[in-house]
Chains A and B, each alone.
Chain A
Amino acid sequence: MTATLNILLLLFLVVSAIIAVRCRDLLSSVIVFAAYSLVMAVLWQLQGAPYPAVALAIFGAGATPLLLLAAIRKTGGQE
């Protein structure tokens, strides 16, 4: 059960990383990156590292997309 969940989460990570990198629209790219960070935090929790998982859920899915959104808003989005 845990092994299957592990493989599913890893597949989601790889696919969402490719989408976040390849997407033309910067806004959707940032949103996919936030989902990627959250799933990565769940995976770390499963791997027995709860404190880094909570820190990543705060930083990766909270602070970094906020900073990216502010920067996109100030620079006028996609060129």
Chain B
Amino acid sequence: MMRKVVSLLAVALIGAVLIVALAKMPEFGGGTAFASLFLFLLGLYVMLTDSNLIKKVIGLNIMDTGIFLFFIALGYRSSTRGAAYMPSPLIFGGLAAVVSFTAIGLAMIVRLYKYYGTIDAEEIMRKRGEDE
């Protein structure tokens, strides 16, 4: 319960800072920026609070697609205004990194399940405490 409140406060603080930063950007407004900000904050909140490990991995994926949506929308905006900003190679690198991270994380989750018999983070912590 305490952890949920603290996580919600941290996410709200990060969201407020990012909204102020978005409002100060001269070229960029509109729904896409705020939708990507919402997706980022939602994924971050799930990664912090949900105790199911597979839900944490899904939250990571939602978070990074939100960030990439922001990058691509920024490049689209600036390209229609004559600037040459092409974030495609950056997005490729990020996608490959996130897919490999997901694969390694899921392999770790399967090993944890074989050892502890559960994929719930709280329960794994409790069982570790009982062992020692």
Contacts and interface: CB of A to CB of B under 8 A. Distances in A.
Contact of B35 (A14, A21, A48, A55): A14
A63 interface: yes
Given A21-B62, A68-B54, A71-B54, A59 B95 contact: yes
User: Interface on chain B toward A: helix, strand, loop, or mixed SS?
Assistant: helix
A67 B39 contact: no
Interface in B25-52: 31-32, 35, 38-39, 42-43, 46, 50, 52
- Interface residue range, chain A: 35 or more
Interface of A: 6-7, 10, 13-14, 17-18, 20-21, 26, 29-30, 33, 36-37, 40, 43-44, 47-49, 51-52, 55-56, 59-60, 63-64, 67-68, 70-72, 74-76, 79
Interface of B: 31-32, 35, 38-39, 42-43, 46, 50, 52, 54-55, 57-59, 61-62, 65, 68-69, 72-73, 75-76, 79, 87-88, 91-92, 95-96, 98-99, 102-103, 106, 109-110, 113, 118-120, 123
